[in-house]
Amino acid sequence: MTDILDISRPFTAYDRPADAETERAVTRFLNAEARTLDREAYQEWLDHFVDEDIHYWMPDMETRNRSDARGPYRHGDSAYFDDTLSELKVRVARFVEPSAWADNPATRHLHLISNIEVYETGDPSLLAVCSAFTNVRNRNETDQDVIHGRREDVLRRHGDDFRLARRRILIVQNVLLSKNLNTFL
Amino acid sequence: MTMCRGSCQGAGRPDMTPVYPTAGSYPDFARLVNRDTAQVDRRVFSDEAVYQAELRQIFARAWLFLAHESQIPGPGDFIRTSMGEDDVIIVRQRDGSVKALLNSCPHRGNRVCMVDAGSKARGFICNYHGWSFGLDGGLRGTDGKVYEKDESFEKAQIGLTPVAQVASYKGLIFGTFDPEAPSLEEFLGDFTFYLDIMLDNEEGGTEFVGGAIRSEIDCNWKFPAENFVGDILHAFWTHQSGAQAILGGGVDLGKRYDELAFQASVYGHGIETNLDKVGNTRTLGYPELVDYVFDLSERARARLGEVRARAIGAVSSATVFPNMSFLPGQNTFRVWHPRGPGKIELVSWTIVNRNAPERIKDLYRKGVMMTFSPGGVFEMDDGENWEYSTRVNQGFVTRQQPLHYALGLGSEDLERNLPGIVHKGSLNDANQRLFYTRWAEFMEHDNWADLQNGATAAPARTRAAAE
């Protein structure tokens, strides 16, 4: 496996920005993905945005001293998501059940995506994409959950489009300030 | 202690001996649990005065779960946790023993440890004035040795307040702020018989997967604790969607429910189980884990006997009073830390057998993430129930209405040769009634003799079964 596909290795040395046209296309892809998630169209998300070999990882963020060699997160330890496609499908299968009470009545979702940077990698079929997000969920009358974080995505070229091959989600919260995580980030 | 009034004579030197609070008695609060009518008054979930009494009567006295031995394997390894709302550091000493220390500098009170965990620490230094403490909590020095230059300064008697007692049971480290509390094994009583289903089903014991998932739920801490102590009933309705997603069908309690399923309670600790062997494990969604648990169950028969061997992966849940819970077979292990009457911090881990193959350990980690984490298909639907069960009691009239805990009245099983107070069937409010009875005992009694000999103690006839 090339380094870029190793989920445990955060992006470091990508310094060749993609051309403007690629960057526009990636931005369109990420915005369309965000809108798809806002609509809770999870099956569509799996079908049109996610690649077969997806690895979708969101580690727990620990508060550690700077000198601690372990760092704030580590692959193989506790995580919110560490999913392949088959595991994402199970989560989606729950969302679409009529008895998914935490989603009925519907949650109002907003995925704000910004700070998009697109880099070429050693593999012409793969792009390294950084972005930041604000995720807002509002339910019932006044229940509101906000999560901020960064994503490190590996996008695979797919004809004129892209598919998500890797997503590393690093949130800024240590204690998740929410009762659940009924969304994808 | 009085402060000097301008003509210091040096007579009032500070006495820095640790202060351990004494308990009181709150009979009015104890009566909020009505055993005769199987009702609980909602003020136990909403009243600030009741909550403050809980911090004094329960969290400052009961043995509370602190850490798993595997989280702090070597000298200087530490984690930070809570006992009630008190912040504490759990740290391995150079001689291999474990100390628990209040995370508050005796000088101005600031925290001396700001991180979740760490390894090979030499001690803890307060960021405010640089007071530094050894692994044992003793004061080693102050910045610039300014205090040390003062003749009246008695460094030797100053330190981080130690948790009064610390003890382990099969890998789990507990502590209590009460120097008078009975031993951990007496506090757990015959419930250790049931803890061993998870902690001692094979040679080598257990360990925690690294890290932890922390989240906040705006609910009273007792709702999740009572849910795990004996509410399998909710699984059918609350978790219909999760069961459908993973199993393609509903929650299944196994074929011989009437004969096998039971609830058992000792001192308010409780387990409900169906003895169906792998029902909980199956919900993790990995057939490989189901095979593993079938094999484990066969091997564990000699060690644990037929009943407990069948419980290793069965549809089951458990709480150790007051706020530590786990699911056998699903291997989620968690603590519900109170943060006021209407908020908790949930910390959860994955527990695995130390000698399990690495592949199995990782499947448990992934399976717990898929089911019992904030994004998990089961835990997803619990939080909102507990939040609104709590929040509606803001209504003045609403909170005058009692709650119904009367499923399974008269279902006590006096025949079955199992430790504790045993009830027939897992679909039963019996353990929850006993959880609240225990809660009322803590509110009522200011001494351990009464606490350990009340209605929640295991009947003598069942104690032999635990031997």
| CA B398/CA B32 separation, integer angstroms | 15
- Are A138 and A25 within 8 A, CB to CB? no
Angle (CA) B233-B238-B239 rounded to 5° is: 95
**CA B311 to CA B280: how far, in whole Å?**
10
Say whether A101 and B211 touch across the interface (CB within 8 A). no
Sheet holding B123-125, edge to edge: B123-125, B132-134, B139-141
Report the complex ipTM: 0.96
Residue B136 has pLDDT above 50, yes or no: yes
How far apart, in Å, are the Cα atoms of B237 and each of B150, B205, B250, B388?
Answer: 67, 35, 9, 16
Selected for mutation to probe chain B from A107, A135, A143, A176 (highest B CB count within 10 Å) is: A176
The beta strands (E) that lie in B369-437 are given as 403-404, 421-424
Cβ <8 Å between B238 and A101: yes
Residue-wise pLDDT tens digits, B289-316:
999 999 999 999 999 999 999 999 999 9
Query: Is the Cβ pair A74, B362 closer than 8 Å?
Result: no
Q: Using CA atoms, how far apart are residues B304 and B297, in angstroms rounded to an integer? A: 9
Please tell me the distance in Å from B218's CA to the nearest CA on chain A. Answer: 7
β-pairing, B86-92 vs B98-102, is: antiparallel
Q: What pLDDT, on a 0 to 100 scale, did the predictor assign at position B380?
A: 96
**For residues B54 and B164, what is the distance between their CA atoms, to the nearest angstrom?**
18
User: Cβ of B19: how many Cβ atoms within 10 Å?
Assistant: 9
Interface touch A178/B374, C-beta < 8 Å:
yes
> Residue A62 is nearest to which of B211, B285, B379, comparing CB atoms?
B211
pLDDT digits (tens, 9 = 90+) for A160-175: 999 999 999 999 999 9
Active site residue B239: yes
A70-120 per-position pLDDT tens digit: 999 999 999 999 999 999 999 999 999 999 999 999 999 999 999 999 999
Interchain contact, B115 vs A65, CB within 8 Å: yes
- Cβ-nearest to A178 among B216, B240, B245: B216
In B, which residues are within 8 Å of A76 by CB distance? 210, 362, 365
CB contact under 8 A, A90 and B246: yes
Question: What is the chain A residue with the closest CA to B350?
Answer: A78
Q: Which CATH number fits domain A15-171: 1.10.10.10, 3.40.50.720, 3.10.450.50, 1.10.730.10?
A: 3.10.450.50
Contacts of A143 (CB under 8 A, 6+ apart): B387
**Residue B389: pLDDT band by 50, 70, 90 thresholds?**
very high
Is B210–A78 a contact, with Cβ atoms under 8 angstroms apart? yes
The DSSP H or E segment spanning A129 is strand A126-139
Token pair recorded at residue B10: 């040096």
**Residue B46 token pair:** 């909403």
Over 90: is that where the pLDDT of B8 sits?
A: no
Q: Which residues, in sequence order, are CB contacts of B426 under 8 Å at separation 6+?
A: B230, B232, B253, B257, B261, B262, B263, B272, B273, B274, B315, B316
Q: Confidence band (pLDDT; 50, 70, 90) for A125?
A: very high
Please, which residues have CB within 8 angstroms of residue B246's CB and are 6 or more apart in sequence? A90, A93, B283, B284, B285, B370, B371, B377
Domains and CATH numbers, chain B: 63-180 (2.102.10.10), 190-466 (3.90.380.10)
Task: Residue B246: list chain A partners with CB under 8 A.
Answer: 90, 93
Identify residue B125 by its one-letter amino acid code.
Answer: I
Contacts of B387 in chain A (CB under 8 A): 143, 179
Find the catalytic residue in B190, B231, B276, B429: B231
Over residues B98-123, mean pLDDT: 98
CB-based contact A90 B365, cutoff 8 Å? no
Do β-strands A50-59 and A161-171 pair in parallel, antiparallel, or remain unpaired? parallel
Which among B149, B145, B129, B125 is positioned nearest to B137, based on CA atoms? Answer: B125
Contacts of A105 (CB under 8 A, 6+ apart): A139, A140
Give the mean pLDDT of B196-225. 98
Least CA distance to A145: which residue of chain B? Answer: B216
Which of B211, B241, B383 lies nearest to residue A99, judging by beta carbons?
B241
Q: Sorting pLDDT into bands at 50, 70 and 90, what band is B466?
A: low
CA–CA dist B118, B422 (Å, integer): 42
Which A residues, 131 through 160, put their C-beta within 8 Å of a C-beta on chain B? Answer: 139, 143
Task: Note whether A112 contacts B: Cβ–Cβ < 8 A.
Answer: no
Q: Dig out the tokens for A49 from the structure.
A: 């945005």
Integer Cα distance of B78 and B16 in angstroms: 25
Neighbours of B410 (CB within 10 A): 7
**Is B404 one of the annotated active-site residues of the chain?**
no
Q: How many CB atoms lie within 10 A of CB B432?
A: 26
Residue A68 near chain B (CB below 8 Å):
yes
The better pLDDT of the pair B255, B122 is held by B122
DSSP letters along B122-136, please? Answer: -EEE-TTT--EEETT
What does the pLDDT look like over B76-88, one tens digit per residue? 999 999 999 999 9
pLDDT, one tens digit per residue, over B236-294 is 999 999 999 999 998 889 889 999 999 999 999 999 999 999 999 999 999 999 999 99
Which residues, 6+ apart, have CB-to-CB distance to B350 below 8 Å? Answer: A78, B208, B209, B331, B332, B333, B364, B365, B368
- pLDDT mean across residues, chain B: 95
Whole-angstrom CA distances from A141 to A107, A137, B465 are 11, 12, 52
Is A172 in CB contact (< 8 Å) with chain B?
no
**Model confidence band, residue B12 (pLDDT cutoffs 50, 70, 90):** confident
B181, B18, B133: which is closest to B86 by C-alpha?
A: B18
- Partners of residue B241 in chain A, C-beta under 8 Å: 94, 97-101
Whole-angstrom Cα distance, residue B159 to residue B155?
8
Q: Exposed, middle or buried: residue B8 (CB in 10 Å: 0-12, 13-18, 19+)?
A: exposed
Residues B187-205: what's their mean pLDDT?
A: 98
Output the pLDDT for position B1.
45
* Side-chain-facing half-sphere of A35: CA atoms under 13 Å: 7
Long-range CB contact pairs, A64-72, < 8 A, 24+: A64/B115, A64/B116, A64/B117, A64/B118, A65/B115, A65/B118, A68/B115, A68/B118, A68/B119, A70/B119
Residue A3 has pLDDT above 90, yes or no: no
Q: Rounded mean pLDDT of B399-416?
A: 96
Residue B353 has pLDDT above 70, yes or no: yes
Question: What is the pLDDT at residue A1?
Answer: 55
- Whose tokens are 């399923």? That residue is B261
**Which residues from chain B sit within 8 angstroms of residue A68, using beta carbons?**
115, 118-119
Residue B349 pLDDT > 90: yes
- Average pLDDT across chain A, whole number: 96
Taking one residue from A and the other from B, the number of pairs with CB-CB distance under 8 angstroms is: 141
* Cα B370 from Cα A153, distance rounded (Å): 22
Q: In whole angstroms, how large is the CA radius of gyration of chain B?
A: 23
Element (H, E) at B439: helix B430-444
Q: Does B384 reach chain A within 8 Å, measured CB to CB?
A: yes
Task: Quickly list DSSP for A166-178.
Answer: EEEEEES-SSBSS
Give CA torsion, residues B462, B463, B464, B467, to 10 deg: 130
Rounded distance between C-alpha atoms, residue B351 and residue B361, angstroms: 9
Looking at chain B, which residue has its C-alpha nearest residue A178? B216
Task: Locate all alpha helices (DSSP H) within A55-160, ordered by sequence.
Answer: 85-95
CA distance B242 to chain A (A): 5
pLDDT at B251 (0 to 100) = 86
Cβ-defined contact of B244 to A62 (cutoff 8 Å) = no
Per cent of chain B over pLDDT 70 is: 97
Which chain B residue is nearest to residue A92, measuring alpha carbons? B245
Residue B207 dihedral angles phi and psi, to the nearest 5°: -150, 165
Alpha helices in A49-115 (DSSP H): 85-95
